[in-house]
Homo-oligomer: A and B are copies of this chain.
Amino acid sequence: MDQKLDVKGHLRELGALARAAAPLLARAGTAAKNRALAAMAREIRARAAQVLQANAADLAQARKEGCDAAFVDRLTLTPEAIEQMAAGVEQVAALEDPVGRISERVKRPSGIEVAKMRVPIGVIAIIYESRPNVTADAAALCVKSGNACILRGGSEALGSNRAIAACVRAGLAAAGLPEAAVQMVETADRAAVGELITMPEFVDLVVPRGGKELIARLSRESRIPMLKHLDGVCHVYVDDSADAGMAVRIADNAKTQRFGVCNAMETLLVGQEIAPRVLPEIAGIFRAKKVEMRGDEATRKLVADAKSATEKDYYTEWLAPVVSVRVVKDLDEAIAHIAKYGSQHTDAIVAGDRARAERFLREVDSSSVMWNASTRFADGYEYGLGAEVGISTDRLHARGPVGLEGLTTQKYIVLGHGEIRQ
């Protein structure tokens, strides 16, 4: 009970500090923010040895606790990873500052001019798991977008995160910005997350990065708006009007360029007329790359070694060398399949017929919808946003890759000349 009270007290203290720092960071000019980011990168490089030492201690503890190899791998920092972290912070400095940007300016019949100004959101809580590099990435994105942040990394990475956060805060101080704008949760107690998502007076937005179970739980319990990423059950639909060579190339790339990523293809839908011309060739590639195919009856007629797909398979985000396949009658059946089994993440059509492609673009209700491109392009760098804080599968505020703009909001500004309302 006492410890619980301590966690609450600790979190409320961090919240109050972040809330107080937020307006100062919101008002900071682009030059000051960029100076802070440059100083952060310098500090990360200068203190690389300390960061590696802290990481070594975290790794020793994780191994002692029997964490698996993949977990230890995600937790591991190397001199190269530290250099990448510093370079990443410098890349954020090079991005355009969205804060203060004025748009949609119109003059109204009353004489007033109305416009929108882009402004920071306030205090952003970022909850992530074992990768310590997120500490630097997330802090850099929040500082550049003028937001204070509260970082809650994996409990096993606490030492590494603390060492990185020290570099971040030194960078803020060097530029004359408030160190308190970046807060780190200093307890490994899991109750901290429960507190973080239920203090709307101190936190304006929660960005959870991590496993599905974590995010599902947070969305049930959070009392604060969240930008979250749930499943990525992404589809490629090969329309009968597709160029067969292009269809094969995109299906291959979408599935096999990387398996464990959210924008990889999990289900391939193929029009019934083009199926005999593309499915056997795609199957040959998948066979060579050891990708297991699970198809419906029509698929298995064309690909003898495909396993039989169950209803559940079509709902599954494989994140592995497995792909669900289905032959569909037409565009309508493809759109209906995606609406039923998809997760509104990223879906692509390969088609030569422009009218069908445009229907797909309009009617498929996903955060990214593509025509003649691989689903693997759904990414902040590929879209030109620079770094991203994640990919949102939510509907409001920001959908798809979330970069600096997604970490800001807009207010109305009104410029008058003494106008009064009649």
Contact = CB atoms under 8 A, between A and B. Distances in A.
Interface of A: 23, 26-27, 100, 106, 108, 110, 112, 114, 117, 119, 121-122, 204-205, 220, 223, 225, 243, 246, 249-250, 252-254, 257, 339, 348, 361-363, 365-374, 376-378, 382-384, 394-397, 399-401, 409-421
A383 B114 contact: yes
Nearest to A371: B415
Contact of A370 (B370, B382, B413): B413
A196 to B, nearest CB: 17
A382 B421 contact: yes
B220 A223 contact: yes
Contacts of A369: 117, 411-414
Contacts of A254: 420
16 contacts: A26-B363, A108-B383, A108-B384, A117-B361, A119-B365, A121-B396, A205-B396, A348-B414, A368-B414, A369-B411, A369-B413, A371-B413, A372-B419, A377-B421, A383-B412, A396-B396
Contacts of A365: 23, 26, 119, 122, 411
Contacts of A400: 411-412
Nearest to A250: B420
Given A370-B416, A412-B369, A362 B421 contact: no
B225 A225 contact: yes
B416 A378 contact: no
B416 A371 contact: yes
A108 B367 CA distance: 18
A418 B243 contact: yes
Contact of A418 (B204, B372, B412): B372
A27 B121 CA distance: 32
Contact of A23 (B223, B363, B412): B363
Q: How many copies does the complex hold?
A: 2
A315 to B, nearest CB: 15
A419 B373 contact: yes
B374 A420 contact: yes
A362 B383 CA distance: 29
B397 A397 contact: yes
B205 A420 contact: no
A399 B395 contact: no
A417 to B, nearest CB: 6
Given A246-B418, A377-B421, A399-B410, 12 more contacts: A23-B365, A27-B362, A100-B362, A117-B362, A121-B395, A252-B420, A253-B420, A366-B411, A368-B413, A369-B413, A396-B397, A400-B412
Contacts of A409: 395-397, 399
A399 B225 CA distance: 14
A91 to B, nearest CB: 15
Contact of A339 (B23, B412, B413): B23
A110 B418 CA distance: 50
A107 to B, nearest CB: 9
Contacts of A419: 372-374, 377
Contact of A411 (B114, B257, B368, B413): B368
A416 B252 CA distance: 16
A142 B64 CA distance: 57
B243 A378 contact: no
Most B CB contacts (10 A, CB to CB) among A117, A253, A377 go to A377
A331 to B, nearest CB: 13
A366 B368 CA distance: 32
